[in-house]
Structure 1
Amino acid sequence: MPRHPERPSASRVARGSLLALAVVALTVLAGCTASAPDAPSASAGPTASATSTPSSTASTPTPQAGPALVPDGSAYDNLPLFTAVTERVWASPDQVSGRAYVDALVAAGFDKAAMEVTYDRTTIDDPAESIMFSVQWGDECLVGQVGPVTGDPVTAVLPVVPESGCLIGNTRPIDW
């Protein structure tokens, strides 16, 4: 029986469904959120050149509470500090504000020029279900994901995405 010219074959429908599923899965795995139209996409930022934390003087020793930045260390060496900062912001009223994570990471000594962050709001101005932020550290990335659908904050060390930096998709400019 001849096939109707406007009706796609079962294999074509299956391929289209698999492609759509793959795109959705990649978007979810990448943690991308919808961004404002015409938002610039992120480019690979410079390698992190973290600054050292202020040193204390002999007359006023400051006890080191918690993890500290390891400027000459690896991304894995700095994951405990990245995670601690993420958890502190998540416990604050600004838990779904990308800027709050960027500012707190800068205050902890991470290089702002090596950071990326996704949008806090969707294109229709609803809160994003999830936001991601990152710090490129050499050829690796410290990546955090938070949001109502994420549950507890998630942090990890991941490889740099070739020709993209740390995050896939549109990211917001860090222009403050």
Structure 2
Amino acid sequence: MARRLALLTLAAAASLVLTACQSSAPTPSPSEAGATSASPAVSAIFNPGGSAQDNKAFFDKVNEQTLAANEKASSNDLVNALSAAGFDKGAMQVTADKTPTGLDVDFVIVSVKMGNECLIGQRAVEGYVSEVAPVLSTGECLIGQTQAIDW
């Protein structure tokens, strides 16, 4: 799990550092990041009082449905879908979907802070991966500059 978080945060940091070109940072493959589909015993129903782990299957379901409709869903699309599904927009962070020069990025990471855990999902060329990770010492879920969620 620490390796997966390190890969996700490294990828996010790399995308924020590279401003003149598209990021070439490696992204975790679904086999490295774990399965995104719920096991039969896990319910894909939103539990507002539950933990991040309790809501991971639902988080994945919402993100996977958004990406099924548009495999290059924007950061706004991902945030809007999660918010419409009941997740607190004020607890979210998301990386930009465009570089400062206007190019598409290779991946977008969206997170929802739930208590002392974070739901983290990544849309990339290779597909969608997600995990539950502890809140960072900063009190945030993602490292580096993220896009303001002001809509």
TM-score range, shorter chain: 0.7 to 0.9
Give a deviation string over 1:9-57, Cα, whole Å, max 9, x none: xxxxxxxxxxxxxxxxx6x5413123798xxxxxxxxxxxxxxxxxxxx
Unaligned segments of structure 2, at least 5 residues: 1-5, 20-42
The equivalent of 1:154 in structure 2 is 129
Give a deviation string over 1:71-129, Cα, whole Å, max 9, x none: 22111110000000110111122633011110000111000000000000112211001
TM-score, normalised via structure 2 length: 0.73
In the alignment, residue 93 of structure 1 is paired with which amino acid? N
Task: Provide the secondary structure at the position in 2 that maps to 1:69.
Answer: coil
Q: 1:101 to 1:147 in 2, by over 3 A?
A: same
The equivalent of 2:67 in structure 1 is 90
Q: 1:96–1:147: 8 Å Cα contact kept in structure 2?
A: no
Segments of 4+ in structure 1 off by > 4 A? none
Task: Give the alignment partner of residue 166 of structure 1, picking from 134, 141, 146.
Answer: 141
Matched, 1:34 2:9: no
Q: 2:16–2:144: 8 Å Cα contact kept in structure 1?
A: no
In the alignment, residue 75 of structure 1 is paired with which amino acid? A
Task: Provide the secondary structure at the position in 2 that maps to 1:91.
Answer: helix
User: Which structure has greater strand proportion?
Assistant: 2
Between the two proteins, the alignment pairs up a number of residues equal to 120
Aligned counterparts of 2:72 and 2:65: Cα–Cα separation in 1: 9
TM-score, normalised via structure 1 length: 0.63
Identity of aligned residues (%): 39
Q: 1:34–1:121: 8 Å Cα contact kept in structure 2?
A: no
> Which structure is larger by alpha-carbon Rg, 1 or 2?
1
